């Protein structure tokens, strides 16, 4: 069964450094998402991406964040200058173009630790 994959599984970085989190969505999906989950808190929407552009973003997704689909398979989230409060699990998700009424399929996540 096709799965969303994410790398790395765990990323440790120093405050102020740039990080890139990578995702490979399910191959025939065209809607892509990033969510995050701070330890002990709920899953929160960051950004959605369709047709090579951002379709919606939350207030968390400020100028320090960017997303890119550099080729036909990868979907990346970049944080330019990490802060302590960016420490969280980051989940990528994808959705088919039709059917499934918005069912999103999540990857296993990247645990980001900012020191």
Partner 1 sequence: SQKIEQNSEALNIQEGKTATLTCNYTNYSPAYLQWYRQDPGRGPVFLLLIRENEKEKRKERLKVTFDTTLKQSLFHITASQPADSATYLCALPTGGGNKLTFGTGTQLKVEL
Q: In the complex, which residues of this chain contact partner 1 (CB under 8 A)?
A: 4, 31, 33, 41-45, 48, 55-56, 89, 91, 93, 100-109, 111
CB of 102 to partner 1, least distance (A): 5
CB of 78 to partner 1, least distance (A): 20
Tokens of 17: 């450094």
Distance of CA 49 to the CA centre of its chain: 10
Task: Using the structure block, give the residue that is written with the tokens 């059917």.
Answer: 99
Tokens of 100: 């499934």
Cis ω on the peptide bond leading into residue 8 (within 30° of 0)? yes
* Nearest CB to partner 1, comparing residues 17 and 113: 113
Cis ω on the peptide bond leading into residue 13 (within 30° of 0)? no
CB of 70 to partner 1, least distance (A): 22
CB of 81 to partner 1, least distance (A): 25
* Nearest CB to partner 1, comparing residues 82 and 104: 104
């Amino acid at each position: 069964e096709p799965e969303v994959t994410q790398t790395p599984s765990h990323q440790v970085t120093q405050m102020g450094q740039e990080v890139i989190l990578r995702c490979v969505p399910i191959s025939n999906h065209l809607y892509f998402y990033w969510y995050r989950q701070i330890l002990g808190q709920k899953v929160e929407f960051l950004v959605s991406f369709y047709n090579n552009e951002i379709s919606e973003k939350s207030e968390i997704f400020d100028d320090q964040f960017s997303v890119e689909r550099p080729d036909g398979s990868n979907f990346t989230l970049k944080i330019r200058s990490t802060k302590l409060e960016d420490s969280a699990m980051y989940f990528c998700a994808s959705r088919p173009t039709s059917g499934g009424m918005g069912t999103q399929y999540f990857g296993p996540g990247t645990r980001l630790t900012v020191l």
